[in-house]
Structure 1
Amino acid sequence: MSNPEKAILGMDIGGTNIKAGVMIGNVLQDIRSIPTPSQESQEFILEAIAEMIASYLHHDIQAIGIGIPGLIDTENGIVLNLGNIPSFRKVHLREFLQARFGKPVFINNDANCFALGEYKFGEAKIHKHIVGITLGTGLGCGIIVNRHLYCGFNCAAGEWCSVPYLDQDFEYYCSGKFFLNHYQKKPKSLSKLAHAGDPEALKAFAEYGNHLGELIKNILYTLAPEAIVLGGSIRKAFPYFKESLYANLATFKYPSLSQNLKILISELDETAIHGAVALVDEYAVDRVKEV
């Protein structure tokens, strides 16, 4: 990191939990989690975030990185909207936290933080162009181009979740929604059944792998990354959808891309916090001067 003697605070703000940890000497430690007061007012939630940050001040905090779902005005540090926290609309989060703590604050979309965390701290670090895909309750994607995070305007780049696919969109078929809507089971339950050889569960994951293959082909046509990193809870079921995924990719029009594509499975714990920490090195030069 910028200064290995000092701590970088990383925070992952989600609709269910707010998690944080400090990076000291490239080791993430002191990881904590609190329930997100998602139904409270904007002011209440801001104070909850500030209180959590204050609990880390016994460390020598150099800067703060924050990952959060939704669209973000990264230049001004404004959270534009957050679907699962209704009161978070046009929240001047950076301004609030810098006024409170006097530290540089860097804010970005949580899926972008996942991709950046994998690039900085995971196996994807050897590649120049990667896309990180989080497979969970929803679908998220983050993009690394020429070893740097690419966000687009208001962090809206990589929103393949909303791209129309079949009768719905990619999120419907490539997240946990697929299993709930088509098999009335959660992915974790189906994974246990697949492990036991259950035919219906194996069929579910075979179908899922085919849909995910269509998403990855869409990404290949758009960005031609060297590697795709799969994260989120569904990644743990990779052995059950690996075969159908690769079978789908074998139909890609440009074999020189698909046959050389590396599909990596995230092995990092707390990748979102790693990515929030990594925001500091990604943007620190300009922002530290301003604070």
Structure 2
Amino acid sequence: MYSIGVDIGGSHITSCMYEHSNNKLNSKTLVHSKVDTKASKEEILKIWIYTISKTIELAQVPIKGVGLAMPGPFDYFEGISLISKVDKFESLYRVNIRLELAKSLHIEPSEIRFINDATAFSITEALIGQATNHKRSIAITLGTGFGSSFLVNGQPIMDGKNVPQGGFLYDKWHEGHLADDLFSTRGIIKKYKELSGREVMNVKELYERSARDRNAKKVFQCFGTELGKFLKPYIVDFESSIIVLGGNIAKAFAHFEEELLLELPEVKVCVSNFGEEAAIIGSALLLDDIYYEDLKPCLKLM
């Protein structure tokens, strides 16, 4: 079986064919397009449809359907955008993306499926990645925001006594600060400015200078310690045996690994091997009908 996985980002769309028989993306079908998120509905959908259509054309095999990893807020069960007042995709508010794509791509609406982008990453890790042999896992995305997903046997858990509502951690507090403000790119950059009085453009610049800049090194050490302290009670409550990290900040794992592991000695901590492909693969996996049927109750709560 072949399906199309799509990652919708803040300024781009990436589409690629996924081969379910060998759990691999076909790199020859990968198409990447820039998107002006402030453009009209027609312009945004035009780019999305072009990108997905190009992947289907390059695939040259029958396609089961299309899965899309989308930022929220979004009605993932119905396929309707709820993004509003965040300076992106405003023109798509209340638009039924499923029906729009189905009509233009000539695909049955039921074969166009949606998932939260952070959850797509976690599904990939739980089904074919490093958390495959773990009953309970937590996936964390560290980037412009702080994403999280709690899974049992590969299924995201959105509520329950041992899971924060929605599986969200970004809106929780840690020592007087929102987690999303601490465990994100802006949190790291802010911490460095507090310590050094200097500004940097991104996290990559910081970890490249950490060997010669004691303040940069200290920022990552503090990041690992505080992230571990923050995560520990959730890990204990959920009884997770593994934490998988993804996102751009995870590329700097070597710089905060020691401090993080000191705080979390009872759990396996690893970095995703899939990188930016994780969300694409996770969305493509939605076209497995058996898995998707089990996932539907979760989608209604997302």
TM-score after normalising by structure 2: 0.82
Q: Is the 8 A contact 2:3 2:284 kept in 1?
A: yes
CA drift of 1:151 comes to: 4.3
CA drift of 1:114 comes to: 0.6
Q: Secondary structure at the match of 1:179?
A: helix
**Cross-structure match for 2:282:** 275
| Counterpart residue identity of residue 27, structure 1 | K
Change (3 A) 1:81 1:224: farther
**Cross-structure match for 2:99:** 95
Whole-angstrom CA distance in 2 between matches of 1:91 and 1:129: 35
**Cross-structure match for 2:130:** 123
Query: What value does the CA root-mean-square deviation take over the aligned residues?
Result: 2.2
Whole-angstrom CA distance in 2 between matches of 1:146 and 1:121: 12
Whole-angstrom CA distance in 2 between matches of 1:206 and 1:52: 41
Whole-angstrom CA distance in 2 between matches of 1:279 and 1:151: 17
Tell me the matched-pair count.
270
Whole-angstrom CA distance in 2 between matches of 1:56 and 1:86: 26
**Cross-structure match for 1:252:** none
Moved over 6 A (4+): none
Change (3 A) 1:263 1:57: same
1:109-188 correspondence runs (5 A)? 109-151=116-158, 157-183=166-192, 184-185=199-200, 186-188=202-204
Matched, 1:22 2:17: yes
CA drift of 1:88 comes to: 3.1
Q: Is the 8 A contact 1:113 1:142 kept in 2?
A: no
Q: Is the 8 A contact 2:123 2:282 kept in 1?
A: yes
Q: Pick which of 177-186 and 143-152 moved more.
A: 143-152
Identity level (%): 29
| Counterpart residue identity of residue 28, structure 1 | L
Unaligned runs of 5+ in 2: 160-164, 193-198, 297-302
**Cross-structure match for 2:230:** 215
| Counterpart residue identity of residue 238, structure 1 | F
**Cross-structure match for 1:264:** 270
Q: Is the 8 A contact 1:112 1:151 kept in 2?
A: no
Matched, 1:225 2:240: yes
Matched, 1:190 2:206: yes
1:68-83 correspondence runs (5 A)? 68-81=70-83, 83=86
Matched, 1:242 2:262: no
Change (3 A) 1:57 1:147: closer
CA drift of 1:182 comes to: 2.0
Q: Note the alpha carbon deviations across 1:3-24, whole angstroms, 9 max, x for none.
A: 3xxx200000011111111012
